[in-house]
Amino acid sequence: MDAAHLVAMVLSFGLPGLLFIALAEKFTPIIPSYVLLMLLGMTLPNSGMLALAILATAVGSLTGSVIWYGAGRLFGAARVERIVARFGKYVFFNGRHYQHLANAYRRNHFWVTLFGQTIPVARIYLALPAGVFAIQPIVFVGAAALGILLWNAPFLTLGYLLRGSGHDPVHVGFWVSAALVATEMTILVGYRLRGRIVRRSVRCLAGAGS
């Protein structure tokens, strides 16, 4: 049975099938998530089903993230690093990628989790170092859920709007995901610049008052 027939069979189960596909995508990143979500959107018959699909895929993705988070907490830093070094190459995730994600978590936990869910590849494995660092569960789940919705909803909606149009979901999805990531980077840079300006202003005021 090829991948197309397998996906068709899973989709025949309706919303549970969508949930399962979103969950499986967190562990088998064979197809880029933006392509998968657009393809799923193209199968939806009406806008009511679109809303339910957004919810179902969000629950599936969040469940996968919580499982990765639990694995990080269970195994701990040293064991996770050994596992990633040994087996990460089989799922397109090496030690260098893990260290990048781990270093990101040394800063703001909420925003790293939120924006990380909208960055390809990082969105799959970001929960692993979050568990290692024992990020507060309520912070992790809240930020991950919001980030997943910000990622899943646009691609499912775009797929739904393009159904029957003949557009290539790979091409369209790539440029939309690139635009989303560029927007995120712009927001992050602006946030950091604002922080620097505020800190500099505080220092200047402190110096003037001394």
Distance between CA atoms of residues 109 and 112, nearest Å: 5
- With contact defined as beta carbons under 8 Å apart, do 79 and 37 qualify? no
pLDDT band per the 50, 70, 90 thresholds, residue 1? very low
How distant is the alpha carbon of residue 150 from its chain centre?
9
Pick 161 or 90 by higher pLDDT: 161
The kind and range of the H/E element at 91 are: none
- With contact defined as beta carbons under 8 Å apart, do 21 and 40 qualify? yes
Average pLDDT over residues 193-206: 52
Is residue 32 predicted with pLDDT exceeding 80? Answer: no
pLDDT band per the 50, 70, 90 thresholds, residue 167? low
- With contact defined as beta carbons under 8 Å apart, do 141 and 62 qualify? yes
Pick 109 or 179 by higher pLDDT: 109
How distant is the alpha carbon of residue 176 from its chain centre?
15
Total domains present in the chain: 1
- With contact defined as beta carbons under 8 Å apart, do 105 and 135 qualify? yes
Q: Please tell me the predicted confidence (pLDDT) of residue 191.
A: 47
pLDDT digits (tens, 9 = 90+) for 63-111: 999 999 999 999 988 888 888 888 777 666 777 777 877 887 777 788 8
- With contact defined as beta carbons under 8 Å apart, do 130 and 69 qualify? yes
Average pLDDT over residues 180-190: 56
Q: Which domain holds residue 129?
A: 3-209
Distance between CA atoms of residues 193 and 37, nearest Å: 34
How distant is the alpha carbon of residue 101 from its chain centre?
13
Integer angstrom CA distances of residue 34 from 50, 77, 158, 159: 16, 30, 10, 10
Is residue 147 predicted with pLDDT exceeding 50? Answer: yes
Q: Please tell me the predicted confidence (pLDDT) of residue 205.
A: 45
Distance between CA atoms of residues 35 and 156, nearest Å: 10
- Beta-carbon contacts of residue 181 (< 8 Å; ≥ 6 apart): 118, 119, 120
**Amino acid identity at 74:** L
Pick 146 or 206 by higher pLDDT: 146
Average pLDDT over residues 138-162: 91
Sequence-separated contacts (24+) of 6-11 with Cβ below 8 Å: 7/39, 11/40, 11/43
The kind and range of the H/E element at 66 are: helix 47-87
pLDDT averaged over the chain? Answer: 77
